[in-house]
Amino acid sequence: MLISLDDRLSFEKSKPGRRGVTLPRDRFCSKDPLREVPKHLLRQSPLLFPEMSEPEIIRHFINLSRKNFSVDTHFYPLGSCTMKYNPKVNEWAARQEKFTALHPLQSEDTTQGILEILYEVEQGLKEITGMDRFTMQPAAGAHGELTGMMLVRAYHASRGDSARRKVLVPDSSHGTNPASAALLGFHVVEVKSNEHGCVDLDDLKRHLDDQVACLMLTNPNTLGLFEKNILEITRLVHEKGGLLYYDGANLNALLGLARPGDMGFDIIHVNLHKTFATPHGGGGPGAGPVGVKKHLIPFLPAPLVEKTVEGYRWAAGDARSIGRVKLFHGNTGVIIRAYTYLKVLGREGLLKVSEAAILNANYLKEKLKSFFQVAISGPCMHEFVLSLKDCGSRGVHAGDVGKRLLDFGFHAPTVHFPMVVPEALMIEPTETESKETMDLFVAAMEQIAQEIETDPENVRNAPYTLPVRRPNDVLAARKPILSYKDMLREKVSLAEVPA
């Protein structure tokens, strides 16, 4: 099989003796005893690194970058993940040397700038969410969920209410919700959705008793729908002595429009890396600050930033604090980006973010319902879900449509989620996409819909334009090739990807 020079691994391009850089021999062998590396710490076996010239290295990584899909290169309508464009001024701010050179063990008097930023972001989040206090420690959304459930456990324990071991989770929730609760030993109970895609109040009432510790809820939910009965839901749970946890993954739809704290939620995590524009594709970076109402402040992780007449300082936590959930003070690089985003947009700008996100989602939904079935009819919030169950008769699944979109230059939406919708395709255009971009996406979806009818095999075998097409998922799970050595052992080339 003919392989393009650009498609080979760096190891396959390697030639003995080629060097992209030459380091001085005394770089790590200085006569200065403080810089001398002890012999017992020196590597005994040679490193397995490709040997390439500088032009080869540059071309290799530039060509790899051209193959990537990202929010900077493609439309990325990944439902429930809010993969919107990230303004470069945020990156500029986070890269400033006076931030990047900070050390978490520096004294308060030498870190007043970053302490002020942590304080200001907290004040902004309090105003946006209606909460009374935030910890900035959690490193991501799921970490925030875990922290929130630790707060739930600590709150009930402080009241001598150890029997509350049941956590209610809607059937349309993010999978991290039940996982976070189960990790702390809670018994997870599923609450059904009604025919309108929202929480079934009758089913909720059936599960409410004196063992309920918390209801975890996303609003708007993962179907992109606002829970119309949210005030009734929070009242019912509170009457039974339970707490309400707000999964902030979909907060991008509510900025300036509604506040979880006003709905009756006790705890919330906020995905700074979704709502306030930080790149988080590929698993990071992230930040998931957790906010609470007044009755839960004593249980927050410590220390917390406080503003005094002398400046900003770290305040020791209450004796009831759950303790640290992260070694230091949170992912400050992401927090700085969020700070910049908040300051640039302000109140009016944040309101426009949500209004545009909702408008874009409804525009796309109305366009696409001509070709595919919408899971729940009627207006949506920031995202919506299509159901491709009728395409099953042609042998085409939601994942196939996602793969085919790659050939048109669009990243796939979320496929096969939420689980309550058969063959789900979950789409979130965000506020940062233009009408022209969305119209191109609609045209691609229309062509795919036609192909499903006339040439379904073409859709089932996509993509065709990427260097790696369709890995064998079963083989990849049973015999994963995780390194170049694995590839040599299995005698497989990346060009030989099984269909």
Q: What is the pLDDT of residues 3-13, one digit of tens each?
A: 455 678 888 88
Q: 10 Å Cβ neighbour count for 113?
A: 13
Question: How confident is the model at residue 478, as a pLDDT?
Answer: 87
Question: How confident is the model at residue 284, as a pLDDT?
Answer: 65
Q: Are 276 and 147 in contact (CB under 8 A)?
A: no
Are residue 372 and residue 251 in the same domain, yes or no?
Answer: no
% residues pLDDT > 90 (the chain): 74
Are residue 393 and residue 289 in the same domain, yes or no?
Answer: no
Are residue 251 and residue 138 in the same domain, yes or no?
Answer: yes
Are residue 398 and residue 341 in the same domain, yes or no?
Answer: no
Residue 457, phi-psi category: left (phi > 0), alpha (psi -120 to 50), beta (remainder): alpha
Are residue 456 and residue 492 in the same domain, yes or no?
Answer: no
Question: How confident is the model at residue 31, as a pLDDT?
Answer: 57
Q: What's the mean per-residue pLDDT of the chain?
A: 91
Mean of pLDDT values over 139-153: 96
Task: Determine the Cα–Cα distance for residues 139 and 232; give it in Å rounded to an integer.
Answer: 32
**Domain of 217: which CATH number?**
3.40.640.10
Are residue 294 and residue 432 in the same domain, yes or no?
Answer: no
Question: Is position 73 within any domain?
Answer: no
Q: 93-102: which pairs have CB atoms within 8 A and are 24 or more residues apart?
A: 93/336, 93/337, 93/339, 93/340, 94/333, 94/334, 94/336, 94/337, 94/340, 99/332, 99/333, 99/336, 100/333, 102/332
Q: Choose one of 345, 370, 398: the last residue of a domain.
A: 345
- Residues in Cβ contact with 91 at an 8 Å cutoff, skipping those fewer than 6 apart: 337
- At residue 1 the predicted structure's pLDDT band, cuts being 50, 70 and 90, is very low
Question: Is position 79 within any domain?
Answer: no
- Residues in Cβ contact with 374 at an 8 Å cutoff, skipping those fewer than 6 apart: 365, 368, 384, 385, 386, 387
**Domain of 409: which CATH number?**
3.90.1150.10
Task: Determine the Cα–Cα distance for residues 12 and 16; give it in Å rounded to an integer.
Answer: 11
Across 198-202, 237-241, 242-246, 274-278, least confident range: 274-278
- At residue 486 the predicted structure's pLDDT band, cuts being 50, 70 and 90, is confident
DSSP string across 324-367? -SSSSS--HHHHHHHHHHHHHHHHHHHHHHHHHHHHHHHHHHHH
Are residue 15 and residue 106 in the same domain, yes or no?
Answer: no
Question: How confident is the model at residue 3, as a pLDDT?
Answer: 47
Closest alpha carbon to 170 in 161, 178, 160: 178
Closest alpha carbon to 469 in 494, 445, 441: 494
Q: Coil, strand, or helix at residue 269? A: strand
DSSP string across 166-225? EEEEETTS-THHHHHHHHTTPEEEEE-B-TTSSB-HHHHHHH-STTEEEEEEESS-TTS-
134 pairs with which residues across the strands?
291
Q: Coil, strand, or helix at residue 125? A: helix
Are residue 100 and residue 183 in the same domain, yes or no?
Answer: yes
**167 pLDDT above the threshold of 60:** yes
Residue 489, phi-psi category: left (phi > 0), alpha (psi -120 to 50), beta (remainder): alpha
Question: Is position 234 within any domain?
Answer: yes
**498 pLDDT above the threshold of 50:** no
Are residue 322 and residue 202 in the same domain, yes or no?
Answer: yes
Q: Are 355 and 426 in contact (CB under 8 A)?
A: no
268 pairs with which residues across the strands?
246, 291
Query: Per the structure, how many domains does the chain have?
Result: 4
Residue 496 domain boundaries: 467-499
Are residue 55 and residue 161 in the same domain, yes or no?
Answer: no
**496 pLDDT above the threshold of 50:** no
% residues pLDDT > 70 (the chain): 93
Q: What is the dihedral of CA 313, 318, 319, 322, to 10 degrees?
A: -90
Across 34-38, 108-112, 232-236, 304-308, least confident range: 34-38
Question: Is position 76 within any domain?
Answer: no
Q: 10 Å Cβ neighbour count for 463?
A: 17
Q: Choose one of 289, 317, 345: the last residue of a domain.
A: 345
**133 pLDDT above the threshold of 60:** yes
- At residue 318 the predicted structure's pLDDT band, cuts being 50, 70 and 90, is very high
Q: Are 94 and 333 in contact (CB under 8 A)?
A: yes
Task: Determine the Cα–Cα distance for residues 248 and 267; give it in Å rounded to an integer.
Answer: 10
Closest alpha carbon to 219 in 189, 165, 164, 262: 262
Bigger pLDDT: 281 or 243?
243
Are residue 115 and residue 240 in the same domain, yes or no?
Answer: yes
Are residue 338 and residue 361 in the same domain, yes or no?
Answer: no
Across 33-47, 138-152, 295-309, 329-343, least confident range: 33-47
Mean of pLDDT values over 477-490: 78
Question: Is position 27 within any domain?
Answer: no
Question: Is position 312 within any domain?
Answer: yes
pLDDT, one tens digit per residue, over 56-80 is: 999 999 988 888 888 888 999 999 8
Does the N-terminal peptide bond of residue 285 adopt cis geometry, omega within 30 degrees of 0? yes
Question: Is position 129 within any domain?
Answer: yes
Closest alpha carbon to 364 in 310, 311, 437: 437
Could you tell me the sign of the dihedral formed by the alpha carbons of 50, 54, 56, 62, in that order?
positive
Question: Is position 75 within any domain?
Answer: no
Question: How confident is the model at residue 369, as a pLDDT?
Answer: 96
**23 pLDDT above the threshold of 80:** no
pTM: 0.89
Task: Determine the Cα–Cα distance for residues 6 and 9; give it in Å rounded to an integer.
Answer: 8
* Beta strand spans in 203-332 (E): 212-218, 243-248, 267-270, 290-292, 304-308, 311-315
| Burial degree of 210 (CB within 10 A; 0-12, 13-18, 19+) | exposed
**21 pLDDT above the threshold of 90:** no
Task: Determine the Cα–Cα distance for residues 162 and 257; give it in Å rounded to an integer.
Answer: 37
